[in-house]
Amino acid sequence: MNTILKLTLKFTLAVVIIFSAATLISDSVDIQGISTEHLSAEKPWVGADEYQYDPGQTVTPEKTLSSKVNWAILVFVVLMVLVLANAFDISKYTAKITGRETVNQNNVNKWIMLFFMIAGFAAVIWEYQTHGAMILLNDSSSAHGVDYDSMFTITLVLTTIVFFITQALLFYFSFRYAHQDGRKALYYSHNNRLEVVWTFIPAVVLTVLVLRGHQTWKSVVYAEDNYNGKMHSIEVFAYQFGWKARYAGDDGIMGNVDYKFISGKNELGLAYKPEVDSLVVDLKKQIAADEASIKNLNTTILDGLMADFTAAENLRDYKNMESVQKEIDAVKNGDRLDELKASIKRKTKQIERILAIQNDKKLFASTFTSAAMDDIITQEIHLAKDSLVTLNFRSKDIIHSAWLPHFRAQMNVVPGMPTKFTFRPTKSTEEAKKERGEEFEYYLYCNKICGVSHYNMKIKVVVESQEKVNEWLKSQQPAFIKREMAPVAPAIMNDTLKTSTDTIQKMVVR
């Protein structure tokens, strides 16, 4: 009976190990390959509108091999466990029969402790050697970033020293003072001196670290106070899923903005009177269209949907049939009517709010200045090397986070709450390319998971001389007044076509 119970337990243990390990392995294989769950087999891009499908990223032979190797390791480990368990059993039975202990378990445990200490330290040293360069960067491209990096290094060095001392003591004591027959442990309840030492030293060290951090933080937040050079101010606008930058035009003044003015043609909601007027006209047109839809909902619109359904039915287009059926249901159960009513209400409210500004003389004068007219909206951020720049963040929809890893800068971008970050870039793109390779570019990334295309939400950042920044700004078209542009030379044209979607988008905007 006892043996059967033991065998069952062993078997269950083996099954649990195999299954959990198999799950881990299959997960890691999935991460290496591309997840294809959301893609249909025939047209891999269907249902993946925002994903850039790259057929080259399917599972390669090496990955299949690596999964085979993983399975071999797993089988080996399971067999080893079973062998050890049996060896342990045999020794126990021998002890029972002979009446003497064959293996001293306390001895075994103390040597295992020593082994763990050495193996653990070896693993830590390996980790530092292999990935240390990724943690201890010391290659910041901004003035304050140098402080960040040095604080990180100091903290890591201190914690590493503490780690080695405490772990060595922990494992060595377990080894040295393993149980011995006849030896009694010393009862040692309290030592004031020891208490003081191990409270005081960490307190002093942590205080020094925190004060240094506070000092650095102050220098970042009040960077403008100790700076005499030319200050720059750029607006960085976040939306699902991208960024836009806004520079003051030739007048050097940033125009006003208001979320109520945002439209397809005025993405940043600039206070430019003619554009806002045309938005009001557009909204009125849309309200009229919505009203017409309400009127014809149960007649022509429903008839049209019925006809669509029959057409889809004849083609046996089940997918389309399903979606048309949903629309028919929405018309019949009143959902569509509610949507239209809500849309009218929303647009009416927007018009009211815009008119409230327009009709208030004081508000009107302060909002609609001429400053917005020549503001420049760009698809890249160009910064002057060694000049202090403030990025003023605004979000159109939800919370994003602007992350400039190479400049050690990050700031939340919150709708309805202006945020900013001031820093001084000290390494130009050219210089960074020399260190990191020709392919390198600075980017500002979104660092807050904000939806399906979050992973691709970034904007290129270029650090160059002030003259080059000015030159680049001259080549950009202002938002609402058109500037005479020199024709694009063919060589540059070819280059532009070669580069990615960023540039193509830029061309479309132009």
Residues near Cu ion, by CB under 5 A = 400, 446, 450, 457
- Long-range pairs, 207-210, Cβ under 8 A, ≥24: 209/151, 209/154, 209/155, 209/158
Choice between 386 and 502, CB closer to Cu ion: 502
Task: Judge whether 201 and 158 are in contact, CB under 8 Å.
Answer: no
Choice between 391 and 457, CB closer to Cu ion: 457
Choice between 247 and 445, CB closer to Cu ion: 445
Nearest distance from residue 449's CB to Cu ion, in Å?
8
Choice between 93 and 455, CB closer to Cu ion: 455
Q: How many CB atoms lie within 10 A of CB 385?
A: 19
Residue 4 to residue 294: CA distance in whole angstroms? 75
Choice between 276 and 446, CB closer to Cu ion: 446
Residue 143 to residue 408: CA distance in whole angstroms? 9
- Structure tokens, 408: 């050690």
Residue 283 to residue 381: CA distance in whole angstroms? 33
Residue 376 to residue 485: CA distance in whole angstroms? 14
Bridge partner list, 243: 238
Choice between 202 and 418, CB closer to Cu ion: 418
- Structure tokens, 364: 């009107």
Residue 470 to residue 384: CA distance in whole angstroms? 9
- Determine the 3-state secondary structure of 233 from DSSP: strand
Residue 270 to residue 478: CA distance in whole angstroms? 12
Task: Tally the residues of the chain.
Answer: 510
- Determine the 3-state secondary structure of 262 from DSSP: coil
Nearest distance from residue 134's CB to Cu ion, in Å?
24
Choice between 239 and 480, CB closer to Cu ion: 239
Encode burial over 479-495: b for 16+ CB neighbours within 10 A, e otherwise. Answer: bbeeeeeeeeeeeeeee
Nearest distance from residue 267's CB to Cu ion, in Å?
16
SS (H, E, C) 310-341: HHHHHCCCHHHHHHHHHHHHHHHCCHHHHHHH
Residue 293 to residue 141: CA distance in whole angstroms? 56
Choice between 260 and 400, CB closer to Cu ion: 400
- Determine the 3-state secondary structure of 487 from DSSP: coil
Nearest distance from residue 414's CB to Cu ion, in Å?
12
Nearest distance from residue 47's CB to Cu ion, in Å?
22
Choice between 373 and 409, CB closer to Cu ion: 409
- Structure tokens, 385: 């090397």
Nearest distance from residue 232's CB to Cu ion, in Å?
24
Nearest distance from residue 389's CB to Cu ion, in Å?
21
Choice between 404 and 457, CB closer to Cu ion: 457
Rounded to 5°, angle at Cα 250 from 247 and 254: 40
Residue 510 to residue 503: CA distance in whole angstroms? 11
Nearest distance from residue 238's CB to Cu ion, in Å?
6
Residue 187 to residue 254: CA distance in whole angstroms? 74
Nearest distance from residue 447's CB to Cu ion, in Å?
8
Nearest distance from residue 448's CB to Cu ion, in Å?
6
Nearest distance from residue 463's CB to Cu ion, in Å?
23
Choice between 382 and 400, CB closer to Cu ion: 400
